[in-house]
Structure 1
Amino acid sequence: MNLEVRPPLWDTFTNRLIIQGKLVCQTALRIGAGSDPLLPTASDLPILLLNGQPYIPGSSLRGVLRSHLERLVRTLEPSPGGGKGACNPVDKNEWCIKTEDMRELRQSKKDLAFRVWDKSCRICRLFGSPWLASRVRVSDLFCLDENVKPLIRDGVAIDREKEAVRNKFDFEVVPPGTRFRLELLAENLSPDELGLVWLGIRELQEGRIQVGGFKGRGLGFVRLEKVQVHMVDGTDREALKNYITRGEMRLVAPEELERWLESFWNSCGGGKGA
């Protein structure tokens, strides 16, 4: 990477993307609250509630979105690093920048952020890493329906050695049809990064991403509906003025969304293992 040509990371405002929609449960959904012996509940495994209503933490949706895109990117770009591919964020030995690598980078403080950027994989550049801030944020998804009552389902734990029931339990789920408000905000993205984000949103629209726990039991199928994509380009002075003074952002047309996807595809070498 030529450090004289610096990518727009955080120090300037290049663009802002806001995607909004309604996330609708196609099946029951479970976001667990854990168990607390001091807080009696109607179920062994209650769901997460805020003011008595279920919600989905933004970090949960962002995590499954990242994981889903990691799988797709690894198929197109098997080797992570240098703005390509996706490393394994759950194994320190498979990070695109390992801890020992970071120690070496820190010895030269000049242009540290951009040297980290240069070595990071495509997904870490977008969603962040221990060394890079994320440029994609997802707000907590609050319930759009009133007085949603959790359903209680029965479950069993199997003893694998005895091949018999070890114990029975019950757990809470959010009913199918429950709707949540989604808002994703991203900043300073290149066209191919915009395409990658839109790819994830489109996968949600098609119902290809499960959310929450007990996915193996068939829970967590969702579909994103009534999607709107707004954007402001910081290099357009008039558009920036309208955004600063009146909060206006332009609605992104479907043709532009398709161009973003094409840009992402081309940046990956058209799937030929760039």
Structure 2
Amino acid sequence: MEIEFKGNIILKGKIVCDTGLYIGESNDSLEIGGIDRMVMRDKKTDLPYIPGSSLKGKLRSLFELFNKDSLNNIRSEMIDKKDVGPCNCGKCLPCKIFGFSNDNGIYEGPTRIIVRDAFPDNETKEEFWNVNNDINRGTELKVENTINRVKGSAFNPRPSERIPKSSKFDFEIVFGIYCDEDKENFKEIFTAMKLLEENYLGGSGSRGYGQVHFDNLTCCFKSRECYISNNAEISHYDIGLLSEFDIQEFNL
């Protein structure tokens, strides 16, 4: 396949938390009575954020389960291995979009997708810094317990941080176009995002955490000429709310 840089598709928008969200980091200095699970924080602002690796990893894993080729590859790997990573066949759509190692000698060009870290928007930052007994440095405290199923009593309380409902984060995805099929493959990013809206982001999703949706979506295509001349035309596309967007109508 002939590989040549033709341009970038840039997708921007908001990640809106419909429930509390937990994406954590290790707490090496756990104290008695302290918080068991700490959220990931930006070291500069001390506010929580959504790492691009977490968003990309979840989009990939859901799309791999959705795509028949990658799902069959993963299932065949599970027969021989206990620990199975992402598909690495180099031929299925998830591999073409999200990347793969070159151990098998296949080369289809660079990874197409770049997922930036997502930081709270200005409105959310104001709410985070607003003095509130329930919200501290952008998180709420949720205490979970272990239930004795015979007595019905709760014990072993575990305090945990999580990002509160209605928080909004600015996100950006850059998708490189290197061959003719890439523009069509880009549509599968919307498929993965719709799958995520019906799943969860971060940890403890089966316990109600991590429900999100995507809003205020905009998309633009910057051709190769845009990086050479400031007068080159940039194609724009307003999407809005993902749940109301028809993927088949997209043509950038």
TM-score using structure 2 length: 0.72
Shift of 1:183: 0.1
Aligned amino acid, residue 185 of structure 1: V
- Say which of 42, 45, 56 aligns to 2:37: 45
Contact 1:191 1:260 in 2 (8 A): no
- 1:151-207 CA distance string (max 9 Å, x none): 101112468999986622110111101110010001026243122123224445xx3
Query: How high is the sequence identity, in percent, across the aligned residues?
Result: 24
> Matched residue pairs, number?
219
Q: For 1:222 and 1:86, how far apart are their aligned partners in 2?
A: 32
Q: For 2:186 and 2:118, how far apart are their aligned partners in 1?
A: 22
Does residue 1:250 correspond to 2:235, yes or no? Answer: yes
Shift of 1:143: 0.8
Corresponding residue of 1:62: 56
Does residue 1:225 correspond to 2:225, yes or no? Answer: no
Q: 1:95 to 1:216 in 2, by over 3 A?
A: closer
Shift of 1:16: 1.0
Contact 1:43 1:171 in 2 (8 A): yes
Does residue 1:187 correspond to 2:176, yes or no? Answer: yes
Q: For 2:161 and 2:246, how far apart are their aligned partners in 1?
A: 42
Q: For 1:232 and 1:217, how far apart are their aligned partners in 2?
A: 41
Aligned amino acid, residue 142 of structure 1: F
Aligned amino acid, residue 228 of structure 2: I
Q: For 2:66 and 2:233, how far apart are their aligned partners in 1?
A: 34
Superposition map of 1:103-114 within 5 A: none
Superposition map of 1:127-206 within 5 A: 127-131=98-102, 133-144=110-121, 145-147=124-126, 148=128, 149-157=138-146, 167-188=156-177, 190-203=182-195
- What is the CA RMSD across the aligned residues, in angstroms? 3.7
Q: For 2:53 and 2:152, how far apart are their aligned partners in 1?
A: 36
Runs of 4+ in structure 1 displaced over 4 angstroms?
Answer: 38-42, 76-81, 85-90, 94-97, 158-166, 253-257
Classify the secondary structure of the residue corresponding to 1:192: helix
Q: For 1:19 and 1:86, how far apart are their aligned partners in 2?
A: 34
Gaps of 5+ in 2: 129-137, 240-244
Q: For 1:208 and 1:173, how far apart are their aligned partners in 2?
A: 20
Shift of 1:77: 7.2
- 1:48-81 CA distance string (max 9 Å, x none): 111221100000001111111112112x776449
Q: For 1:209 and 1:197, how far apart are their aligned partners in 2?
A: 15
Gaps of 5+ in 1: 1-5, 98-116, 235-239, 262-274
Q: For 1:178 and 1:126, how far apart are their aligned partners in 2?
A: 29
Q: For 2:97 and 2:150, how far apart are their aligned partners in 1?
A: 44
Contact 2:139 2:163 in 1 (8 A): yes
